[in-house]
């Protein structure tokens, strides 16, 4: 039984000091000692702070261990020293970005322009120190709607590499797919291409040195991101690099939700291939992560050769659609989506950024929607701000639809997410469970012109604890194409009805409530 003063008998007002009293008071002092750090780091989230304080007081030894392992929200990491070469690149890039803004303003004056509704992402004016890069024109985006299509595109790009390959993934497994890419990367390294591989130490914990050895022998460089060291003063096991980036020669880049493992061939996932100046931004994100993991600074012009003031050539593109058109039927997506011209920017965030940039981007997208907001996410655990934004968007008349998995690879997160459904269904948000297979894709289709793709999920971990990278794509034809994909996915899903949800079994609601209770501790 929990005692506020262990060893004290209130009936006799005497102390009964035993070995257990010593242990109990030691734990109490330990728990209390951690409370100031909880208040400093979770002061902006009172419910999370209260949950941690109660845990520290009720179970001090367990609570202190959990706080040391997973309690912190933010971390510091050293930044790259910008060399003269990088300074020149930055100046050129910002000149290009200013040109993009000027062009966007001119385009917005046209009544038929797809940019007539100003992108909510364009209003993100913070500089790239917070991971918010400026919008760039003259880009091409090619959606890769399945993992199989994405893997083939990755392979084609790697085979075509002439100078360097930068390969960064959260999960890389020792299976057939993992070996397939290992051998291909080793082959390119032997051909004289610089190959750098960055993988998360926890997400790719199955990777052994024996698996990496063929790459190292071929001349490639490989490093784990934030390996766990138990003797660290502050354990950083809770901060993971969830990004999925592949950059080839500074000219073509990939991002999305696809990891390098056999599982993803059976799951529903997607990625996007990018060409043009936005690849510079992906390269910049990789360079920061690589410097943190290895200390090597990639501030050389050769790694940013994709930065140019003209559109990429030699790639088949899709013609501009009627800007006044709108997808309303549940038509199937095109079997092989083509590259589409787009204004694009990268938004990256992580626990080293106290602004929680990805969270702010999602919040701005939801609150600025005027017509439709279609979301696909494998993990849906919104905080109070995102929850309120979704509710008010639907109450304003925005068509808000969310697709989540019926079968999830993380059941506790699925149960926590379902506990939020009633508050959304009550105000008209439509929720669907994808039933074909495990869903791992991440997508936001915003009004008629904007698409958000990348690694971030709609959950607290992506908002505050993981290193994430998303692309904001401003293109009416691309929006239409991804809307078709969303509606095709919806047709393979089961819609959740409010009345049926309210009558679910008591034990199910109890499990969901318990799972939701754990979310502030993340």
- Rounded average pLDDT over 108-118: 35
Q: Summarize pLDDT for 57-106 with one digit per residue, the tens.
A: 777 767 777 666 666 655 555 555 544 444 544 554 455 444 444 444 43
Extended beta strands in 382-465, E state: 399-405, 430-434, 443-446, 450-454, 458-459
β-pairing, 399-405 vs 443-446, is unpaired
pLDDT at position 488 over 60: yes
Percent of the residues in the chain that have a pLDDT greater than 90, as a whole number? 57
Residue boundaries of the structural domains of the chain: 22-71, 84-115+139-304, 340-521
Q: Summarize pLDDT for 196-224 with one digit per residue, the tens.
A: 999 999 999 989 999 999 999 999 999 99
Who has greater pLDDT, 395 or 11?
395
- Rounded average pLDDT over 374-380: 97
Residue partners of 162: CB distance under 8 A and separation at least 6 = 193, 249
Who has greater pLDDT, 86 or 36?
36
pLDDT of residue 323: 38
Same fold, 84-115+139-304 and 340-521: yes
Lowest-confidence segment of 13-17, 153-157, 355-359 by average pLDDT:
13-17
pLDDT at position 180 over 90: yes
pLDDT of residue 137: 92
Lowest-confidence segment of 119-123, 158-162, 259-263, 410-414 by average pLDDT:
119-123
Who has greater pLDDT, 47 or 140?
140
- What torsion do the CA atoms of 40, 46, 47, 50 make, to the nearest 10 degrees? 60
Map 375-396 to HEC letters. Answer: EECCCEECCHHHHHHHHHHHHC
pLDDT of residue 97: 45
Residue partners of 389: CB distance under 8 A and separation at least 6 = 363, 366, 367
Q: Whole-angstrom Cα distance, residue 517 to residue 513?
A: 6
Q: Are 96 and 136 in contact (CB under 8 A)?
A: yes
pLDDT of residue 291: 93
Q: Whole-angstrom Cα distance, residue 494 to residue 512?
A: 19
pLDDT at position 434 over 90: yes
CATH number of 84-115+139-304: 3.30.870.10
Three-state DSSP at 253 gives strand
Q: Are 81 and 361 in contact (CB under 8 A)?
A: no
Q: What are the C-alpha distances in Å from 153 to residues 143, 178, 179, 281?
A: 11, 15, 17, 20
pLDDT of residue 24: 65
> Model confidence at 195, in pLDDT bands (50, 70, 90)?
very high
Residue in 74, 68, 75, 70 with CA at minimum distance from that of residue 33? 68
Q: Whole-angstrom Cα distance, residue 486 to residue 331?
A: 10
- Rounded average pLDDT over 348-357: 85
pLDDT of residue 196: 98
DSSP string, 161-191: -SSEEEEEES-B-SSHHHHHHHHHHHHHHHT
> Model confidence at 516, in pLDDT bands (50, 70, 90)?
confident
- Rounded average pLDDT over 336-342: 84
- Rounded average pLDDT over 100-120: 39
pLDDT of residue 111: 37
> Model confidence at 107, in pLDDT bands (50, 70, 90)?
very low
pLDDT of residue 127: 45
pLDDT of residue 96: 45
- Rounded average pLDDT over 158-180: 97
Three-state DSSP at 139 gives strand
> Model confidence at 356, in pLDDT bands (50, 70, 90)?
confident
Number of Cα atoms under 13 Å in the Cβ half of residue 277: 25
Measured CA angle at 292 (ends 410, 442), to 5 deg: 30
pLDDT of residue 80: 52
Residue partners of 111: CB distance under 8 A and separation at least 6 = none
219: Cα separation from own chain's centroid: 31
pLDDT of residue 299: 81
- Rounded average pLDDT over 267-284: 95
Three-state DSSP at 59 gives coil
pLDDT of residue 260: 98
Query: In the CATH scheme, what is the homologous superfamily, with its name and number, of domain 340-521?
Result: Endonuclease Chain A (3.30.870.10)
- Other C-beta atoms within 10 Å of 408: how many? 19
Extended beta strands in 55-161, E state: 136-144
> 427-465 burial, b if ≥16 CB within 10 A, otherwise e?
eebbbbbbeeebbbbbbbbbbbbbbbbbbbbbbbbbbbb
pLDDT at position 278 over 50: yes
Q: Whole-angstrom Cα distance, residue 513 to residue 504?
A: 13
φ, ψ for residue 143 (rounded to 5)? Answer: -65, 140
- What torsion do the CA atoms of 246, 147, 410, 207 make, to the nearest 10 degrees? -50
Most confident of 39-48, 232-241, 289-298: 289-298
- Rounded average pLDDT over 186-196: 97
β-pairing, 430-434 vs 14-15, is unpaired
Q: Are 365 and 120 in contact (CB under 8 A)?
A: yes
């Amino acid at each position: 039984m929990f005692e506020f003063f262990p060893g004290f008998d209130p009936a006799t007002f005497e102390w009964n000091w035993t070995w257990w009293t010593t242990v109990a008071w030691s734990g109490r002092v330990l728990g209390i000692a951690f409370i100031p750090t909880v208040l400093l780091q979770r002061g902006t989230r009172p419910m999370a702070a209260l949950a941690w304080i109660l845990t520290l007081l009720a179970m001090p030894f367990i609570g202190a261990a959990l706080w040391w392992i997973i309690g912190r929200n933010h971390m510091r990491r050293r930044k790259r020293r910008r060399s003269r070469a990088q300074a020149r690149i930055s100046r050129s890039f910002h000149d290009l970005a200013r040109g993009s803004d000027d062009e966007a303003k001119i385009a917005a004056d046209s009544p038929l322009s797809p940019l007539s509704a100003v992108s909510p992402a364009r209003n993100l004016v913070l500089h790239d120190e917070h991971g918010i890069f400026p919008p760039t024109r003259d880009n091409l985006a090619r959606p890769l709607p399945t993992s199989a299509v994405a893997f083939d595109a990755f392979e084609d790009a790697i085979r075509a590499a002439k100078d360097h390959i930068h390969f960064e993934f959260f999960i890389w497994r020792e299976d057939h797919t993992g070996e397939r890419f290992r051998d291909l990367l080793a082959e390119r390294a032997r051909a004289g291409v610089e190959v750098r591989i960055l993988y998360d130490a926890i997400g790719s914990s199955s990777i052994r040195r024996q698996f990496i050895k063929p790459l190292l022998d071929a001349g490639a460089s490989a490093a784990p991101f934030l390996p766990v060291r138990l003797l660290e003063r502050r354990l950083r096991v809770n901060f993971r690099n969830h990004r999925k980036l592949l950059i080839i020669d500074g000219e073509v880049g990939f991002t999305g939700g696809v990891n390098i493992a056999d599982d993803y061939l059976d799951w529903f996932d997607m990625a996007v291939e990018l060409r043009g100046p936005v690849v510079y931004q992906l390269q910049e994100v990789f360079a920061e992560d690589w410097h943190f993991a290895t200390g090597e600074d990639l501030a050389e012009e050769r790694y940013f050769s994709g930065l140019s003031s003209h559109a990429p050539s030699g790639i088949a593109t899709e013609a501009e659609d009627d800007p006044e058109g709108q997808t309303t039927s549940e038509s199937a997506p095109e079997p092989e989506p083509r590259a589409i011209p787009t204004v694009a920017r990268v938004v990256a965030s992580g626990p080293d950024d106290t602004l929680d940039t990805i969270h702010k981007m999602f919040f701005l997208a939801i609150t600025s929607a005027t017509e439709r907001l279609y979301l696909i996410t494998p993990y849906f655990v919104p905080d109070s701000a995102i929850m309120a934004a979704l509710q008010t968007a639907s109450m304003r008349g925005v068509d808000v639809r969310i697709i989540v998995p019926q079968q999830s690879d993380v059941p506790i997160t699925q149960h926590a997410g379902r506990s939020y459904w009633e508050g959304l269904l009550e105000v008209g948000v439509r929720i669907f469970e994808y039933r074909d297979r495990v869903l791992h894709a991440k997508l936001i289709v915003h009004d008629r012109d904007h698409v958000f793709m990348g690694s971030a999920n709609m959950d607290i971990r992506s908002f505050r604890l993981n290193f994430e990278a998303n692309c904001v794509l401003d293109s009416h034809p691309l929006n239409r194409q991804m809307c078709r994909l969303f509606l095709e996915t919806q047709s393979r899903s089961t819609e959740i009805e409010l009345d049926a949800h309210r009558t679910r079994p008591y034990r199910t609601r109890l499990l969901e409530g318990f799972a939701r209770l754990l979310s502030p501790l993340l």
